[in-house]
Amino acid sequence: MNLSKTDFVHFIKCPKSFWLLKNRPDQYPHGEFSDFMKKITSEGYEVEAHVQALLRSQPDADQFSFQTKFEPASGLYARGDVIRENENGTINIYEVKSSTSVKRSPQQNQIKDITFQKIAAEDAGWKVDKSFIIHLNNTYVRCEGINPVELLIFEDISGEIASIEAQTRVEIDTALKMLVQPVIDESSCDCIELTKSNHCDAFDYFNPNIPKLSIYNLPRISRAKLRTFIADGRIDLDDIALHEVTEKQAHVLRSAHLKEPVVDTTIISDWFSRLEYPVYFLDYETYASATPIVDGARPHSPIPFQYSLHIKKSKDEASLDHVEYLTDRAEMPINMIEHLEKHIGDVGSVVSWHASFENTQNRSMMAIYPDKQGFLQRLMNRTVDLEDLFKEGYVDINFQGSTSIKKVLPVLVPELDYAGMKVANGTDAMEAWQRLTRLPTGQAKDKLRKSMLEYCKLDTLAMVRIFEFLEKI
């Protein structure tokens, strides 16, 4: 059984999860390979294509090869994105990444990644001179198509590899030994000391006794605090005292202890008292890609392509107006801005959920379109964040420690449901828009457009219904 680069990265993150996947794949609880991950993979191929086009245009193009396999007898397996055969018999290794910098965090250590590749190459008989990571230039702005020379950065990380190579070899040896172990201790895994977002896919398999609502549902809990509670054998929220957590965590913990929502009517009333009618409920959808798809865009810079706007004219007005916009062309958002400017008016509060997202897009659009700065700045000045009320004003353990609208809505307004929708989340919307821009005019395009409009409309309607729920408190 070979140890691939992907396997090794998996081992580094969680050894037991790695072992289960390799030795009992039928029992491994695979996390859904989301559309977002598919998008990232696809973008990686696009960046590789630009790298290959650039290198094939160079005078020394014949010295480069692509997707070279390294399969030494040691049991390692790696595939080099690019190698350059030097005149002295050595090679340079180039690893292509779709990021705008070299990632060095424990969660995404690209240096460790390419170090494995160097070791595999040398075990296979190659002599590696230098190693590079090719990543995107975050200052690059597309103009009349893609210019690979300006888009790509070749970063020499040979020195960094040298500093961790010995330790990486030790880790590789440990992974190879674990790979062939017939049995392991399955009583827990190392992820038990990590926050929920960093748990491996096999966390529930190795930790079956952890309750659905536990210390992992305390927002922004530190690893040190987790370790303390775990060492004490206290995983259940009923075993944690209020004085042991932060003020914001205490709101969630109090709800868990009481088994009911914790409501601060003063906070809620104060928030509503600052509103000015008509109230506009606004949600943007954006598309970001590693390689910019339109002129004027940067790598990974979001492009707003759609909005939904529900309008509540007065406090006592039951009926709602609705306005929406969706472009079916890959373009910068000037038409969307002008459409919104016509329909959102000059007065009235603008309600968003996680408003920092909408405001970030507004600031980005201000930088692109100086003549729209006044409108967009006034829009930001009018914007309030409905999510803020769920940090202290209305806290329910049934939100699982989250303030995401996808967690709040099923609890407060269960009749509104994203289940079964063709487009059911932001990632779906991004993927759908990419397809929409490429489809020819016809029934398939109309159907996809309808699904996208329905999703975004539900996002703002969800805000309205949650708003109305709180208004009655």
For 230-272, the pLDDT digits (tens) are 999 999 999 999 999 999 999 999 999 999 999 999 999 999 9
Long-range (24+ apart) CB contacts under 8 A made by 207-215 are: 210/235, 211/235, 211/236, 213/237, 213/256, 213/397, 213/400, 215/240
The pLDDT of residue 167 is: 97
What's the rounded Cα separation, in Å, for the pair 146 and 133?
Answer: 20
What value does the mean pLDDT of the chain take?
A: 95
The pLDDT of residue 194 is: 95
Largest distance between two CA atoms of the chain = 81
* Token pair in block for residue 256: 């868990």
The pLDDT of residue 39 is: 73
Confidence class of residue 107 from pLDDT cuts 50, 70 and 90? Answer: confident
* Token pair in block for residue 29: 């609880």
Q: How far is Cα of residue 262 from the mean position of the Cα atoms in its chain?
A: 30
**Arithmetic mean of pLDDT, 54-66:** 97
Q: Report which of 313, 309, 335, 311 is spatially closest to residue 324, judged by C-alpha positions.
A: 309
Confidence class of residue 34 from pLDDT cuts 50, 70 and 90? Answer: low
Instruction: Find tokens 């999703």 and name the residue.
Output: 455
Q: How far is Cα of residue 46 from the mean position of the Cα atoms in its chain?
A: 19
Per the DSSP assignment, residues forming a β-bridge with 82 are 66, 94
Strands of 313-387, DSSP E: 321-326, 350-352, 383-385
Name the amino acid, one letter, at 325: Y
- At residue 229, φ and ψ (nearest 5 deg) are -65, -40
3-state secondary structure of 327: coil
Alpha helices in 198-279 (DSSP H): 203-206, 223-231, 247-258, 265-273
3-state secondary structure of 195: coil
Is residue 390's pLDDT more than 80?
Answer: yes
* Token pair in block for residue 144: 């009349």
What's the rounded Cα separation, in Å, for the pair 338 and 351?
Answer: 19
**Arithmetic mean of pLDDT, 379-390:** 98
What's the rounded Cα separation, in Å, for the pair 90 and 85?
Answer: 6
**Residues with Cβ < 8 Å from 244, sequence gap 6 or more?**
none
pLDDT in tens, 186-226: 999 999 999 999 999 999 999 999 999 999 999 999 999 99
**Residues with Cβ < 8 Å from 376, sequence gap 6 or more?**
337, 362, 363, 365, 366
Name the amino acid, one letter, at 8: F
DSSP summary character for residue 354:
S
CB 136 within 8 A of CB 148: no
What's the rounded Cα separation, in Å, for the pair 349 and 327?
Answer: 26
CB 221 within 8 A of CB 408: no
3-state secondary structure of 271: helix
Confidence class of residue 37 from pLDDT cuts 50, 70 and 90? Answer: low
Instruction: Give the β-pairing of 394-395 and 321-326.
Output: unpaired
The pLDDT of residue 40 is: 76
**Residues with Cβ < 8 Å from 226, sequence gap 6 or more?**
193, 194, 195, 215, 216
Confidence class of residue 360 from pLDDT cuts 50, 70 and 90? Answer: very high
Q: What Rg, from alpha-carbon coordinates, does the chain have?
A: 26
The pLDDT of residue 36 is: 64
CB 237 within 8 A of CB 257: yes
* Token pair in block for residue 6: 């992907």
- At residue 282, φ and ψ (nearest 5 deg) are -120, 135
Q: Report which of 164, 128, 4, 130 is spatially closest to residue 72, judged by C-alpha positions.
A: 4
Confidence class of residue 30 from pLDDT cuts 50, 70 and 90? Answer: confident
Q: Report which of 151, 80, 86 is spatially closest to residue 117, judged by C-alpha positions.
A: 80
What's the rounded Cα separation, in Å, for the pair 361 and 301?
Answer: 10
Confidence class of residue 31 from pLDDT cuts 50, 70 and 90? Answer: low
**Arithmetic mean of pLDDT, 106-125:** 94
Is residue 35's pLDDT more than 70?
Answer: no
Give all domains of the chain, ordered by start, each with its CATH number. 3-179 (3.90.320), 210-260 (no CATH), 268-471 (3.30.420.10)
What's the rounded Cα separation, in Å, for the pair 201 and 211?
Answer: 17
Dihedral sign of CA atoms 140, 357, 384, 263 in order: negative
Is residue 372's pLDDT more than 80?
Answer: yes
The pLDDT of residue 253 is: 98
Is residue 44's pLDDT more than 90?
Answer: no
Dihedral sign of CA atoms 105, 106, 112, 114 in order: negative
The pLDDT of residue 288 is: 93
